[in-house]
Structure 1
Amino acid sequence: MSGNGDDNRNAGRWGEDPGRPASSPQFGPANPAQADPAQTGAQSFPGYSGYSSYPGQPGYAGTADQPVEDPEGQGGEGQVAVAAGVKEPRRFSTPAVAGMMVAVGVAASLLTGLIVNSAGSDSSSGTTFSTTVIGDREQASATPEEGTVEAVAQKVLPSVVSIQVTSGQTASEGSGSLISSDGLILTNNHVVSDAGSGASITVTTNDGAQYDATVVATDPQTDIAVIQAVGASGLTPITIGDPDALQVGQSVVAIGSPLGLSSTVTSGIVSAKDRPVQAGGESGGEASLIDAIQTDAAINPGNSGGALVNLNGELVGIPSVIATLGGTSGESGSIGLGFAIPADQAMETAQQLIDNGKASHPVIGAQVDTRETTTVGAVIAEVTAGGPAEEAGLKAGDVVTKVDDRVVDSGVSLIAAIRSHTVGDEVTLTVTDSNGDNQHEIKVTLSASE
C-alpha cells in the first residue's frame, strides 16, 4: 500500500489490497457534482420502480453487460419481450418519492455566508463579536489519537482538492483526490464533463494553492475521470485502501467540497455494500452504473469525486451519487443515503485512462432486461453470437440468480456484479429457466467490452 507522498500511478501501487492482485477488478459503473442545484433533478435506478428520473435523462441502455429497456413496456420491433410479468411498483411510506441525483455544487448561483448580529447601542458602533474560549489551548493542539475522525482529517485533507469548472457565465464545483505528487487527480466524470471548448478547470488544494487543470481522460460508463493539475509538484497523494475489507457498520469519513465549502469533513458508517445504483448522466449524457458502497455520512452536491476513507485515512470509495426526496419542495441535500464507487474499481479504471486514454469493461456477451418483473434474478434477453455467454451455454430466457456466491435479483444487479470483476476472470453463474426450474451452474470467462 502506498503511503502519503508516494505516487499511486504505477502498476501495482494503486492500492495493493491484501486480498487482491495489483490490477484490481475493472469496474463498469455512478453520480454527486456538477449542475446548478436549481436545475439538478433526481436521478434514477432505471428498472427500479418508485424512483423519479433526472429531467431529460434517457433510460439506461447497454449490454449485460449492458441493460436493455422497454420504457413503455410495449415490446415491439427492436424490443425484447420478456415472458415474466411486470412487478407492481414499489410503495414508499414517505409522501415524497426518493430519487437518485448527482451531488453537484454550482458556484455561480451559490452564496454561502455567515450572518452575525450587531452588538452595541447604535448603528454607528459597528459590529462586535463575543467569544468564549473553552478548554485548554495546549490540549487542543495535541496530536489526535489514531483512529479518530480528527486524526483522519489531518491525514487526508492535504490529499483532497476542490475542483471548479467555469464555462461562460456558469461555474460548477466538485471534489477530487490526489493520486500522484505531481498533480494527477481522480474525480467523477460528471464533475468535469462540461469542461469542453472554452471552459477552464481550477483546482484548489487544502492549503489554498490553485492550479489550472486539464482533462487526461474520462469514462462515462463508470463515471470516472482523471485530470492533471498543471505545474504541480510536491503534493500529497492519498493512500489507497481495500474496500473489500469494509464491514457493514464500520465507521467511514467523507471529505470534499459540498456546496463549495472546501475541506468539509463528515462521518458515518458503511450502511451496505454491493449496492447496484444506476444514475443518468449530466445534461442528457451517458448513464453510469455503480456497484456502490452505501453510507450515511453526509454527502451533498459538490462532494462528487471526493474521498470516502476508513479510519486509517485510506481511500475506500469515491462519493458519486445521493438519494434525495422528490416532490416540489426542491430538497436536494443529504438524507443519509450516499453511494460511493469502490476505490479499487475506480483506480483500475483510472490506470487504464492514464495508460490508454480509455477504459474497457468486463462483459459476459449478453443483454439483460432491466425492467422490474416478477422473476427474481436477471432475465437474459439476448446472447451475443460467439461471445462468452453463448460458449458457456447461456440462452435467451434464462434467469441468472447468482454470480459466484453473490445473489442477483435484477438485471442491474447482474451488470454491477460482472463489472466488479476483471477482464479474464472466470465466474460461476447460477441459472434457472423462466419458471425458476432446472437450476444449474455454468462457468463464463469475462471478455472486454468493445
Structure 2
Amino acid sequence: FAAAPEVNPYNTFMKAKGWAVMLVLVGLGLGATVLRDQVPLGGARSPAPTSTSASGPAAEAGARLQNEQNTIEIVQKYEPGLVFISTEERVASQDPFGWMTDQGQGEVQRGLGSGFFVNSAGDILTNYHVVAGADGGAADRIQIRLLGGTETLDAQVIGLAPQYDLALLRAPDLKPADIRPIPLGDSDRLAVGQKAVAMGAPFGLEFSVSEGIVSATSRQIPIGFSAGGEGITQRAIQTDAAINPGNSGGPLLGSDGRVIGINTQIYSPSGQAGAAQSAGVGFAIPINTARNLLPRLQAAGGQMVYAPRVGIEPGILVRGRGGVLALGLGMLDPQGKRAAGLPDTGLLIGGVAPGGAAARAGLRGGGPPQDLPGGGQIQLGGDVIVQAAGQPVDALEDLQAVLLDKKVGDRVTLKVVRGGQTRDVTLTLDESAFQ
C-alpha cells in the first residue's frame, strides 16, 4: 500500500538531542493528517502451571494461548471505542504567473488519523497534528467514522493543545448508543516489559491492532509544537508495538484494556516523512498527561489550551525564520558568557510579570535590552534558571516541558543562579497560571 504525497506542514521532522536520525510525526504520511470495568484477562495473570507432567513445548504453547486470548478480549471489548478520523484542508493554489481568475478555489488536502472516546459524552481524544490546519488552527473539515460503520459524521473541535500535541473533538450527531469510551489507566504505574496493544489506522488501514511491550516509561523526546515551531521535550512511553503513519491519535492499551498512552511518533531511520515506517521504536503521550489536561480542553470552547504560564520573559531573543525566538545560554559564545559572569547553560530571565508565580517566588528580571552581534537582544542582570524539578534547563522549552503535566496547586522547585550564587526557588501554580 503506497502512501500518498506528503502535504501537511505539521508533518515535520523533530530531531532529539544526541540522536543521529529524525523523529517523524506519524499519522501524516498519507496526506494532511490522513483516528469501566476491567477486561476479563483469560488467565493472562494466572501463575504458570506447576505440574511436572506437562512438557516444555506444551507449557510454552499454553502461555501463548493465554496471551492471545487476553489480546482477543481486549480488542473485542474496546476496539469499538476507536474512531477513524479524516480531514480536509483547502489551501490556496500556487499561481506564479497570476493567471487565476477565481481566487476562491484552491487545492484540497486530505488526511487520515485515529482517535478514541474518553467518556460517555462522546469526547474524542486525538493528536493535535492529526487535525491541525495550515494556519495552526484546525483543518477546514474534520469527520469521523466508527468501527463497522459506513457513515461519516462531522466533528467539531472542542479544544486544541499544540504544546502537548493533543486535541479534543466531539461529533454532535452521534447516537448515545454508538459512544463506547475506553477506560483510562494510570501511566505513572507502568513497568518496562509489560504488554502494550496499539490501535489505529496505519497507512489508512482502518481499525488495525498491533501488540508489543513497553520498552521505556520516561523517554525524553520533543513532542509538542511551541510558538516558534520547535518540538517541546517531554516524557513519553516507548513501545515496540508497531506504530506507523495513520496510528497517530490512537490509544495504546495495557493488558487490562485500559489506555496507557496516545500514539504520537515513530523513530524513522529513513529520515523521510513520506517513507516513514515503524522500526520497532514508537512513542506515546502518557495518558496521565492527557487526563490532567482534559478538563481544560473541555472548557476551551474550540480555542487553544497552553502550558501553564509562570510570568517569565526570556532574556535572549533573536529573529529567525519562524519569527522572534528565545535562546538559552548554551547557544552563546563561552568567552562572552564568562565575561558577563553567566553560567554555561540556563534560561536567562529578561522580565517578570507582576502578580505571576515567578514574581511571588521572588525571581528577578534583567536590565534594559542590549543588542547582540549578528542581531537579537539580551537583558543582563536577571536570574538564570538552570534546573526545574531536577531537570536541566537551557531554553524556555525546557521549562515548559516540566510544566506540561502540572495542575493548579502544584509546586515546582527551580535552581536559580543570581550574582554567581545558586539558590532554590519554589513556584506555586495558581489559577492565573492556567488562564
When the two structures are superposed, what TM-score results if normalisation uses the length of structure 2?
0.65
1:227 to 169, 175, 193: 169
2:184 to 204, 219, 240: 240
1:401 to 368, 375, 387: 387
Partner of 1:292: 235
Partner of 2:370: none
Q: Which runs of 5+ in 1 are unaligned?
A: 1-33, 50-89, 111-138
1:268 to 206, 213, 222: 213
Partner of 2:58: none
Aligned equivalents of 1:145 and 1:323: distance in 2? 27
Measured after TM superposition, the shift of residue 313 of structure 1 is 1.1
Aligned equivalents of 2:193 and 2:86: distance in 1? 33
Partner of 1:348: 292
Aligned equivalents of 1:319 and 1:182: distance in 2? 22
C-alpha distance 410-307 of structure 1, shift in aligned 2 (>3 A)? farther
The CA deviation string for residues 269-312 of structure 1, in whole angstroms up to 9 with x for no partner, is 1424162414558xx99666362323132221111111012211
Partner of 2:410: 425
Measured after TM superposition, the shift of residue 240 of structure 1 is 0.8
Partner of 1:106: 30
Q: Is the 8 A contact 1:276 1:413 kept in 2?
A: no
Aligned equivalents of 1:91 and 1:353: distance in 2? 33
Amino acid corresponding to residue 358 of structure 2 in structure 1: A
Partner of 1:69: none
Amino acid corresponding to residue 380 of structure 1 in structure 2: L
C-alpha distance 329-188 of structure 1, shift in aligned 2 (>3 A)? closer
Amino acid corresponding to residue 103 of structure 1 in structure 2: G
* 2:306 is equivalent to residue 306 of structure 1: no
Give matches, 1:79-94, under 5 Å.
90=18, 92=20
C-alpha distance 201-39 of structure 1, shift in aligned 2 (>3 A)? closer
The CA deviation string for residues 365-405 of structure 1, in whole angstroms up to 9 with x for no partner, is 224555555868642343423232233233434233241xx
Aligned equivalents of 1:440 and 1:147: distance in 2? 55
Secondary structure at the aligned position of 2:289 is classed as helix
- Where relative contact order (Cα < 8 A, 6+ residues apart) is larger, the structure is 1
Amino acid corresponding to residue 340 of structure 1 in structure 2: A
Aligned equivalents of 2:141 and 2:238: distance in 1? 32
Partner of 1:277: 222
* 2:73 is equivalent to residue 151 of structure 1: yes
Partner of 1:385: 353
Partner of 1:18: none
The CA deviation string for residues 37-83 of structure 1, in whole angstroms up to 9 with x for no partner, is 376754225xx56xxxxxxxxxxxxxxxxxxxxxxxxxxxxxxxxxx
Partner of 1:217: 158
Amino acid corresponding to residue 25 of structure 2 in structure 1: M
Aligned equivalents of 1:321 and 1:385: distance in 2? 35
2:111 to 172, 187, 209: 172
Partner of 1:19: none
Q: Which runs of 5+ in 2 are unaligned?
A: 35-60, 91-107, 315-325, 335-342, 365-381
* 2:133 is equivalent to residue 194 of structure 1: yes
Secondary structure at the aligned position of 1:333 is classed as coil
The CA deviation string for residues 207-243 of structure 1, in whole angstroms up to 9 with x for no partner, is 2353412213232332222222323221210101111
Amino acid corresponding to residue 44 of structure 1 in structure 2: M
* 2:300 is equivalent to residue 331 of structure 1: no
C-alpha distance 332-421 of structure 1, shift in aligned 2 (>3 A)? same
Amino acid corresponding to residue 388 of structure 1 in structure 2: A
* 2:423 is equivalent to residue 440 of structure 1: yes
Aligned equivalents of 2:394 and 2:69: distance in 1? 38
Q: Is the 8 A contact 1:376 1:401 kept in 2?
A: no
What count of residue pairs does the alignment treat as equivalent? Answer: 336
Aligned equivalents of 1:236 and 1:194: distance in 2? 28
Partner of 1:86: none
Give matches, 1:57-136, under 5 Å.
90=18, 92=20, 97-106=21-30
Aligned equivalents of 2:195 and 2:399: distance in 1? 28
Measured after TM superposition, the shift of residue 421 of structure 1 is 0.8
Aligned equivalents of 2:191 and 2:168: distance in 1? 28
Measured after TM superposition, the shift of residue 156 of structure 1 is 2.5
When the two structures are superposed, what TM-score results if normalisation uses the length of structure 1?
0.63
Measured after TM superposition, the shift of residue 333 of structure 1 is 1.1
Amino acid corresponding to residue 421 of structure 1 in structure 2: K
C-alpha distance 276-382 of structure 1, shift in aligned 2 (>3 A)? farther
Measured after TM superposition, the shift of residue 174 of structure 1 is 0.4
Q: Identity of counterpart residues, as a percentage? A: 29
Aligned equivalents of 1:232 and 1:394: distance in 2? 52
